[in-house]
Amino acid sequence: MPAIPAENTITVQNLLTAFEGESNANAKYTAFAAKAVEEGLHGAASLFRAAARAEQIHAVNHARVLDRMGSRSECEIRPVEVKSTLENLKTALNGERYEIDTMYPSFLEEATERKNTAAIRTFTGAFEAEKTHARLFSEAIALLAAGKKDSSNGSWLGEAREFYVCPVCGYTSETEEEHERCPVCNCPWEKFEIIR
């Protein structure tokens, strides 16, 4: 592969870091979904599966930009530490918060300085989608911490349910009629993936 031009090295490094983060988040949420099933928290499992799919979309988007910039996209998938679903939700929320508060803002700033529109687009999609995950994980944590595990106490955590994931940017929604188009990337609603 040809060498990466010097002015692109930081953007490429940031894309690789984000690719690794998203790929590991996908592995983590997939394992957390299995644990939630074990605990009978099928709605929480649905959420983890939807978020896992969104992270996979982010990883693929980042990889596409890396490819265009002449870089490989390879990363190490680390072993997942699985705890209780409440702890797993907190781990997931912390990961999302790091990406929303620290990682993507700094990567976006750098890509903007470089006027790298492809990097800006993929980072923006992930940054906005992670906010939807943080909100949904927070909601699940509040329910579970209050002992609200199923519909007998008004909780969605117990029964498998549908989430809607934008196939372009990973925006994740819990209601079907929320939008006509993805509020982040404008993808038509009919193309959204239904994850259960």
List of residues contacting Fe ion (CB under 5 A)? 130, 133, 166, 168-169, 171, 182, 184-185, 187
Rounded Cα distance between 60 and 67, Å, is 10
Q: Closest approach of Cβ 70 to Fe ion, in Å? A: 27
List the Cα angle 188/193/196 in 5-degree steps. 145
Q: Closest approach of Cβ 108 to Fe ion, in Å? A: 16
Q: Which is nearer to Fe ion, 134 or 144 (CB)?
A: 134
Question: Based on the number of CB atoms within 10 Å of its own CB, is 183 exposed (0-12), middle (13-18) or buried (19 or more)?
Answer: middle
Q: Which residues of 65-94 are buried (b: 16+ CB within 10 A; e: fewer)?
A: bbeebebebebeeeebeeeebbebbbbbbe
Q: Which is nearer to Fe ion, 44 or 149 (CB)?
A: 44
Q: Which is nearer to Fe ion, 36 or 166 (CB)?
A: 166
List the Cα angle 132/72/56 in 5-degree steps. 25
Q: Which is nearer to Fe ion, 43 or 125 (CB)?
A: 125
Task: Give residue for tokens 């949904």.
Answer: 136
Q: Which is nearer to Fe ion, 104 or 149 (CB)?
A: 104
Rounded Cα distance between 11 and 153, Å, is 48
Q: Closest approach of Cβ 24 to Fe ion, in Å? A: 11
Q: Closest approach of Cβ 29 to Fe ion, in Å? A: 8
Q: Closest approach of Cβ 187 to Fe ion, in Å? A: 5
